[in-house]
A and B are shown apart, each in its own frame.
Chain A
Amino acid sequence: MNLWSVQTLVPLPVLVPLFAAGLALALHRHARAQRVISVVALSVVVAAAAGLVVAAREAPVVIDVGGWAAPVGVNLVADPLTALMLLVSGVVLLCVLLYSMAQGIADGDGRKAPAVQGTEDIRRILEAQDPDADEARRRDVLPVAIFHPTFLILAAGVADTFLAGDLFNLYVGFEILLAASYVLLTLGGTVERIRAGSVYVVVALVSSLVFLLAVGLTYAATGTVNMAQLAERLPDVDPGIRLGIQALLLLAFGIKAAIFPLSAWLPDSYPTAPAPVTAVFAGLLTKVGVYAILRTQTLLFPRNEILEVVLLVLALATMLVGILGAVAQDDVKRLLSFTLVSHIGYMIFGVALATTASTAAAIFYVVHHITVQTALFLVVGLVERRTGTTSLERLGGLATLAPGLAILFFVPAMNLAGVPPLSGFLGKVGLLEAGVLDGSALAWVLVTGSVITSLLTLYAVIRAWNKAFWQPRPDEQELPEETGLPWGMVGPTAALVAVSVALTAVAGPLYDYAEHAARVVMGDAIYVDAVFPDGAPRGTGESDEVTTEEGGP
């Protein structure tokens, strides 16, 4: 393989962060070096992803890792959908990393870094559990040398999930990112985070087991875990068995994506993490689940009417239950977590309709939602930094106190609600159009539900806006002394808000790209041809050291 071919770009989003994570861990005593390594690594990821976006437009870029050709070897596939997701996630990860460095989670902001070791530390932490010492608890007990390596491993896991060309690699990618997320969510091991972390970790562990079992069953049914080969073989499998496997995969990804009956863990666990961690979780982790659903449902399995109906109903329930939860919240972070759950419903709506138009709309919506949701959580992090609280009861008067912050909140909030010129509106219009084109009664119910959810989202964010920014400041509110917002935090937030607005400006080309990605995902042939360029006969592997014998069952 030529080193200078575009294929070289494919493994970079996984390899570079993993390597950088090791390096950063080795250099844990040198905070500056860690920062430089992390920023450089994620910048390389963004650059590689941008290259792939261009390259994958022609045809999916495939690389056989380890020199064995698929389906015998493991392969990484960058089709337009993967490339697009890599680019968006890379940009989001980079912005959040810069934000977190300025916030000082990473280096403790010059504070002594208590690595939670030894009885002395534990005693101090236990003292800090005093309810009066809320702020001390939140800020002081953050260990730190591990933040950068863990964050980079999360980036590698996300990239691996997007690039995986076989189901088992998808599982490994999920485990990498989940393991990193466990560490990030329980950073510092404070009371709240251990409480929230227990639930999160156990739920995620169970979903991983379900996924692994589904992989095993797939292998038993088809004798392969390579996605391209599965796309060829699964249609021939007995429909009952196929439905079982499909439902198991859907269950596993449904937990990760937080689809309604499986979403209760999310609004409780995310808000307890530090703001940048919450932001990146909200932006990426659930969307990785949505990506996995999109990939497996469209590529691997032939259309299945029953599951489509089930998915549509679940999408509706996710939207409505999620947004009603958001309306009832008084904590901005929890409110946003509920809107996150709710808007997963839109993407599932698009996936469930299973047409090219709906899939394209879902892909566009995923891109929009990753940027907007992350931006909103970052802004809330700024609000918390400025005022020391995220409770709508205690916030107020922020519009006069910090006008810039108000703009930073208002724009993505309107975008999330889908107010016309912004990208959220375009994504929703695409979904509604696809729903109307489908024309079935259930699709019309979903269209109505989407509009209602959109209005309720508007209500929820406007309520947050009114209470936090517009209404006069409650008299008893005391601002923390440290009132200035560092540019290092505002800059990345503003950049992300700008990206989310820019999505409107480039909506035309982006939507075209999403449609192209949807066509590739829906049309199995393009993907399969890219993986098996010579039209390999079914059931045999080929490699550099070619065998003439037929292998496999």
Chain B
Amino acid sequence: MTVLDTVPSAALLLAVGVLFAAGVYLLLERSLTRVLLGFVLVGNGVNLAILVAGGRAGTPPITRADAGAEPMSDPLAQAMILTSIVITLALVAFVLAMAYRSWQLHGHDEVQDDLEDTRIAQLADRDAPSYADSDAIDPRVTLDEEAATVRDEVALPEPAPGRRPGTGTRGGGDT
């Protein structure tokens, strides 16, 4: 059994690098079409990398050595690439449809913000707190009304008029 020459071609490696770099750049864009192009580029880069992984042509696998004297490239790597190309094709078709749908709905195909992001940005814009402060909400029954409904031997004296529960010093009036 001969040891295979597994040193890959520099041109292929360079191509993989360029495809990845350009693809990642495009993937980071906001528009779905560009993201899609990025996906296609990186996908091709990965396929090329698998081709490199197959190594150089050598003895035919599985079949008998006397089947042909010609060296043969690794069929498994090519089978995997073929499969992934088919899968990529299908996904590209789907994302294209989705981008088109997005354009139909919005007139553009930009990936939109997360619901939470939108909400937080909205609140920040209004300079409002991000949660309801239950102390600040006027309850249906004031503390005094509530106190009046029970019999308490050591009940507090009548309060100063106009004082509402929850607006005391605890809420941070001293800052």
Contacts and interface: CB of A to CB of B under 8 A. Distances in A.
B18 interface: no
Given A168-B83, A179-B91, A550-B1, A216 B35 contact: no
A268 B116 contact: yes
A549 B64 CA distance: 6
Contacts of B43: 209, 212
B37 interface: no
B80 A168 contact: yes
A205 B95 contact: yes
A308 interface: no
Contacts of A206: 27, 39
Interface stretch (A102-110, A189-197, A360-368, A489-497): A189-197
B46 interface: yes
Interface in B1-57: 1, 4, 6, 27, 32, 35, 39, 42-43, 46, 49-50, 52-55
Contacts of B59: 549, 551
B94 A179 contact: yes
A126 B106 CA distance: 10
Contacts of B1: 550
Contact of B102 (A72, A194, A212): A194
A233 B106 CA distance: 52
B87 interface: yes
Nearest to A183: B94
B93 to A, nearest CB: 10
A444 interface: no
B105 interface: yes
Contacts of B61: 541, 551-552
Interface stretch (B107-115, B145-153, B154-162): B107-115
B63 interface: yes
Interface residues of A, number: 45
A186 interface: yes
Contacts of A212: 43, 46, 50, 84
Contact of B111 (A72, A199, A220, A551): A199
A43 interface: no
B74 to A, nearest CB: 9
A175 B85 CA distance: 12
Interface residues of B, number: 46
B104 interface: yes
Interface in A276-312: none
A122 interface: yes
B69 interface: no
B52 A220 contact: yes
A532 interface: no
A541 B62 CA distance: 8
Nearest to A271: B115
A129 B32 CA distance: 21
Contacts of B77: 219
A549 B63 CA distance: 8
A126 B105 contact: yes
B64 A209 contact: no
Interface string B59-83: 1111111000000000011001001
Interface string A478-497: 00000000000000000000
Contacts of B65: 549
Given A175-B87, A547-B63, A198 B98 contact: yes
B95 A201 contact: yes
Contacts of B136: none
Interface string A39-68: 000000000000000000000000000000
B101 interface: yes
B115 A215 contact: no
B72 to A, nearest CB: 11
A182 interface: yes
A72 B101 contact: no
Contacts of A122: 104
Contacts of B27: 202, 206
A201 B91 CA distance: 9
A541 B39 CA distance: 35
A279 B1 CA distance: 54
A543 interface: yes
Given A189-B98, A268-B115, 15 more contacts: A179-B94, A182-B94, A182-B98, A198-B98, A199-B111, A202-B32, A206-B27, A209-B43, A212-B43, A216-B49, A219-B50, A268-B116, A328-B131, A552-B61, A553-B4
6 contacts: A198-B32, A201-B98, A219-B76, A220-B49, A553-B4, A553-B55
